[in-house]
Structure 1
């Protein structure tokens, strides 16, 4: 997969499922990352071909819940992101999915306690030997490209040093979020420190942080020299920001998202969580729309809420099944 001059949907927990990834691609995203999935969880799954939906599903044994769902339409651009703290486990998990995705990415930036306490995410930033072990193990044993995503370290020189060590493992690209582990989303991203990493490496660097409008893609590229740009919150708030024609109304985006969720039978909790995140940026969950999303018990209820009852009926009729997620 080529990592230069690409617009990239960032990995977002409980949000970056198939419907949002496909919607982002419809609007112009070139590469779409799935939500981070922990290697332990993957190893409880089995790969199933879902002829009913036309998808490949990684399904948790015992519970039947879909942990990761993808389809042929996104095969050339979807990146499977994994949380791990062990090279052997990472390889076992990656081997389950590597034939169905464009690349495998290791999360080395998540600051959330569940990641750090498991030695994953940003906890890896202080363990360069373990980083090297994980990435080289994947590189030697997979034909699929391997990448990783990091945050800034305490001082710019440390970030550059780590990035150089990561590059030596032979990965295809490095995504850099322009914030340090203690930084909050409201703290401005340090584009200048991403620029230091870009200047030190020869592999493509994907810049991430404070990209909210289409024009920001070029602004961050100019400021950092990065090959490509990754966007998280901006895409969550209105995923049509990937379109060079400009954003479409937020109401339309929500309806499109609901349609995609119906079409791909997306997990109800994930669908509701994503809609709530979209609503919270523009409005308030205490208003009627937010309350109705929270109360919804299935995809059919969401279809009714967003005026997509006919679409829901048509899709379920075509499947020869009636039921809403």
Structure 2
């Protein structure tokens, strides 16, 4: 599959997720076989007005290049200017993706994210304006519709294609569903029938087998993994194996803890101990989920403030798991 003139080592991508797909996590996913990683969503308006905090979201490491950057907003001229000013010259950014699906109330209230699904003409104008200035492919990610009374993803996709979008990603839930219920893969299949540009399927991919079923059911050109990757960067490798008909991976508890420690060390490298220790609490909870005594570990991690304490706790936990495994054998 090509997006513009771009080809990837595989067509399994990491979805943009606020508070999750930062520079530390993206590198681990790329290492584990992810074909393309996306930044967290970035406010075009904040960039336009020079927000330094927003610029930190655009740090990109050598091992993850090139990266797709996702921006959000609803003002076509401002979004186009941001692309021209901030992204056209960067070799480490390969795709400009526009968020048209975020369901968060504060985003929707401002007319951004999935609010754009209520105004397809404005959404198309955003794509058109960005395409006029961008030196990189322009894509969009959106949902099935705003709510059950407004399922318009097929028509929305057609409008974006007419406006010049190089590819589209569809999450098979409405905005009102947020992340509840089941993703509707039929809508992805339907969109694939109506557009010629690449279609990326998103929603409820938590295993290699899920990805294989999505591919077979929808005929999508690529698969985008979101929540399934949390605490599980190996999922990309597992999906590759499933699509080739190979057996799933068997990740040991010790491997999970080792990856958690690596993730934490990268977070410290990029963000410093204070922020890394705070942010890693949620990531660590995902890594240890389902393991023995995971609740105790989560509670203890929430009380620690130094990297030495965190790494010592995780290493001791790993030894405890190894001993438990020996006893069970």
Q: Aligned pairs, how many?
A: 292
**What is aligned with 2:203?**
209
Q: 2:70 aligns with which of 74, 78, 81?
A: 81
**What is aligned with 2:310?**
302
Q: 2:167 aligns with which of 158, 169, 173?
A: 173
**What is aligned with 2:102?**
110
Q: Deviations over 1:96-139 (max 9, x none)?
A: 13423111111000111111011100000011121111111111
Greater length-normalized contact order (CA 8 Å, ≥ 6 residues apart):
1
**What is aligned with 2:125?**
133
**What is aligned with 2:24?**
19
Q: 1:200 aligns with which of 173, 194, 198?
A: 194
Secondary structure at the residue paired with 1:80? strand
Q: Which moved more, 1:1-10 or 1:34-43?
A: 1-10
**What is aligned with 1:291?**
299
Q: 1:276 aligns with which of 282, 285, 289?
A: 282
Distance 1:215 1:5, change over 3 A: same
**What is aligned with 1:248?**
251
Distance 1:158 1:210 in 2: 20
Distance 1:260 1:277 in 2: 13
Higher helix content, 1 or 2: 2
Distance 1:35 1:282, change over 3 A: same
Q: Does 1:164 align with 2:151?
A: no
**What is aligned with 2:268?**
262
The Cα shift of 1:219 comes to 1.2
Q: Please report the RMSD computed on the Cα atoms of aligned residues, expressed in angstroms.
A: 2.8
Mark the runs of 5 or more structure 2 residues left unpaired by the alignment: 1-5, 242-247, 317-329
The Cα shift of 1:238 comes to 1.2
Instruction: Judge conservation of contact 1:14–1:274 (CA < 8 Å) in 2.
Output: no
Distance 2:80 2:280 in 1: 30
The Cα shift of 1:291 comes to 2.9
**What is aligned with 1:49?**
none
The Cα shift of 1:68 comes to 2.6
Instruction: Judge conservation of contact 1:42–1:67 (CA < 8 Å) in 2.
Output: no
